Amino acid sequence: MAVPRAKTSKARTRRRRGINMKLVAPQLVECGNCGNLIMQHRVCPKCGFYRGRQVITPESN
């Protein structure tokens, strides 16, 4: 069984783990009804449509 010769430093460990912890911007798609940019598989907060149907009535601010 392989045994490490020296302790792995905190910096080396965190550098290795940090590669997979980067933040990713969400994928935005255009609403089919109003053209507003929304996240995929979500109801449009502007018009209340999802997959061509009105699901909610949007709040007017």
Confidence class for position 58, pLDDT limits 50, 70, 90: confident
Tell me if 40 sits within 8 A of 29, measured CB to CB: yes
pLDDT of residue 8: 94
User: Could you state, in order of their start, the residue ranges of all structural domains in the chain?
Assistant: 12-54
CB atoms under 10 Å from CB of 48, counted, come to 16
pLDDT at 22: 85
- Tell me the pLDDT tens digit for each residue of 2-57: 899 999 999 999 999 999 888 888 899 999 889 999 999 999 999 999 998 999 99
Instruction: Give pTM, 2 decimals.
Output: 0.57
